[in-house]
Amino acid sequence: MIVPTGQDVARLAGMTADPADDTRTRILRAALDLFAEHGYQRTSLRQIGERLRLTKTAVLYHFPAKEHLLAALVEPLVADLEALLDSAQTQPTDQARWTVLEGWVDIMLAHRRPLGMLFHDIALVGRGDTYHRLIVIAMRANDLIAGPDAGRRERVRAVQAVAACSDPIVFFTDVSDEVLRADMLDGVRRLLAPLPADAEAPLPADAAAGPYADAAAWRHATTTVPASARETPAPGTARDAAPRNTSAATTPGAAGAVAHRRRRPGRPPALGREQVEAARRMHAAGTHSVDAIAAALGVSRATVYRHLTAP
């Protein structure tokens, strides 16, 4: 596979104009622009050549196939991630973890334009070795973040952390680098923060689905609903109208409904009307995560979820 030279990598990182650009770098820049305008599949090598007043043969001289262009555009990102992991590999566990996470965010932001434009097409590099390098990079990053002798929970959170340091780049294109970097790292720190002792208990088997699959939401639901409301009703009673063996945790909205019926007279709702409207606006705008909304309003994640899903 043909990849950019070190000089190409430096120029492509910023994608800025340079009068001294050679033909190879000009082709890469034109390809990126056209891929952004028309998509990878609908852009031909002939179109790339025409934009630069080159023949298709001249383009093929530097890139024998269109997929080589895509791989070359991704190469600077891949090379930077490999260098980051090499650097972190020799560090103590805690230092390595945050070297990877902070460095990952910075690299994604540095390659923000090509990454965002090629987001839907990167899978096409699977025909060469770039795809396999990306898989190895992801596995190395997960191992460094999880740490040695990590259990399942730590490995899952490591995978989530890498996603948290990557995905927002392509979804929040209108947010500045500085603000997005702070938000992403804040989210990762919250994700990897030590869990409270009572958060380590496993979920019951019947809570593995529905809106209470999250451990905190399950605990909130089962502690705010009176025990009597969670007990199996005696056969023939009015409460036995619901299907047997259906708990509040596995029926969307059931826990909230039961809690509402059991609420003592005069007890205020968890959120006022204005707070609910504010939570819904923040969620709809995509500017705040559920965790951020809950922290801002001083309530639990489960409370936020309940009001976001309420009619």
Average pLDDT, the chain: 73
Q: Are 168 and 180 in contact (CB under 8 A)?
A: yes
What's the sign of the alpha-carbon dihedral 237, 243, 246, 248? negative
- Residue indicated by tokens 């990557």: 166
Least confident of 66-75, 154-163, 231-240: 231-240
Residue 299 pLDDT class (50, 70, 90 cuts): confident
Please state the rounded mean pLDDT for residues 43-72: 91
C-alpha 270/C-alpha 11 separation (Å) is 54
Whole-model pTM: value is 0.56
Residue 237 has pLDDT above 60, yes or no: no
Residue 1 has pLDDT above 60, yes or no: no
C-alpha 282/C-alpha 293 separation (Å) is 7
pLDDT recorded at residue 19:
42
Please state the rounded mean pLDDT for residues 151-178: 92
Give the burial string for 278-297 (b: 16+ CB within 10 Å, else e): bbeebbeeeebbbebbbeeb
Give the model confidence (pLDDT) of 15-34 as tens digits: 444 444 689 999 999 998 88
Residue 306 has pLDDT above 90, yes or no: no
Quick check: helix, strand or coil at residue 194? coil
Q: List domains and CATH numbers for the chain.
A: 1-193 (1.10.357.10), 206-234+246-309 (no CATH)
Give the model confidence (pLDDT) of 112-128 as tens digits: 877 776 666 665 655 56
Residue 160 has pLDDT above 90, yes or no: yes
> Who contacts 208 (Cβ-Cβ below 8 Å, separation ≥6)?
none
Give the model confidence (pLDDT) of 260-271 as tens digits: 334 444 434 467
